Amino acid sequence: MDGNKLKLTSSEIGSLWGEYVNGTMTDVVNQYMVSIIEDELIKKIFEDAINTFGKQKKQIASFIENEGFPVPIGFNESDLFKDKPRLFSDIFCLNYLHIMTLHGLLGHSTSLAISVRKDLRDFYDSCDNDAKNMYHQTIELLLEKGNFQRDPLLYPNKNPEYISSKDFTDGFFGKGRKLAATEIISISLNLKKSIMAKTLSIAFSQITQSKEVRKFLTDSENTADEQIKDFSKIMQRDNLPVPKSWETEVTTSTESPFSDKLILYHVGFLFQAAQNYHGAGLASAMRTDLVTTYESTILKNLMVTKKWFDLMVQNKWLEQPPLAPNRKEIATEI
């Protein structure tokens, strides 16, 4: 059987649909950022990112159209207001691209994992390679500019050891053992992502035209700030450094380069994507204080995304993904 002639499954269509909507959102932000960036090296990376997604966007649309599905609206030039004042510093733009590339790597890997058709697998392989290349470029430039935030360093034990006590799970109030390297992975990554979500919430709250959206952004900023404080306390109790904040890289501009639809969608996307990372952190946590912190964080994020969903639907900004056929409804039409 020709693997390229298989019909795309619901999972494959769903992944393409999500890649298109999320990709067009990031592309609009990238187009704004490349217009304000002054550093030529940073600008070049953004130009590469825009050109790369332009090719991917055409291929995604082709896959969807060939299966008879409508291509999503996603985000486009109508969501970008050109010639607006600078909202972010150059270095924040570079850090933003780095964090969003991390999201892309996870998304492409997930899409590849559920894809069967060979041409689709080849496409996601290509997307993954593009994202890896972008990941390396952003890290190298952040390192060169002295702005890459490395995770805490540990000092090696002389010999391997087995866990010898049930107290290994006790981490409350400084009792029990210190954080394990396997736990620091998720804490550090979640801190960086919460810092990004908080910074964008602050920036977007300055420029949104809608009072309801501004209220949501203020709430999302507070939620992200609580999560930053919770995870920072855990790190600091073990005398470990935490990533720096990015609030000072946001200017005082109040003129919006983005539609309220894009602004609201973007923050909701960050909180939804964060659930994957919080879930991974919960799965690797072996200290009770970490477990309760992750559980609380996941619950608070669910509350944020519920408010986000209601507001998106209220404004008719949330596109409906392809749905499974309603057999009862079909039967009544006969």
Distances in whole angstroms, Cα of residue 73 to Cα of each of 18, 20, 26: 11, 9, 14
pLDDT score for 57: 97
Report whether pLDDT(333) > 90.
Answer: no
CB 286 within 8 A of CB 169: yes
- Read off the amino acid at residue 61: A
Which pLDDT band holds residue 170 (cuts at 50, 70, 90)? low
Mean pLDDT of 201-215: 96
User: Which is more confident, 36 or 332?
Assistant: 36
User: Which is more confident, 326 or 56?
Assistant: 56
How far is residue 148's CA from residue 300's CA, in Å, rounded to a whole number? 29
Report whether pLDDT(166) > 80.
Answer: no
How far is residue 209's CA from residue 278's CA, in Å, rounded to a whole number? 31
CB 256 within 8 A of CB 208: yes
Lowest-confidence segment of 110-114, 168-172, 296-300 by average pLDDT = 168-172
pLDDT score for 124: 96
Report whether pLDDT(158) > 50.
Answer: yes
Distances in whole angstroms, Cα of residue 240 to Cα of each of 282, 286, 293: 20, 18, 17
Average pLDDT, the chain: 92
User: Which is more confident, 155 or 235?
Assistant: 235
pLDDT score for 59: 97
CB 275 within 8 A of CB 157: no
Mean pLDDT of 178-198: 92
Mean pLDDT of 127-143: 96
What is the DSSP secondary structure assignment for residue 84, as one 8-state letter?
Answer: P
pLDDT digits over 217-266, tens only? 999 999 999 999 999 999 998 899 999 999 999 999 999 999 999 999 99
Report whether pLDDT(171) > 60.
Answer: no
Report whether pLDDT(322) > 60.
Answer: yes
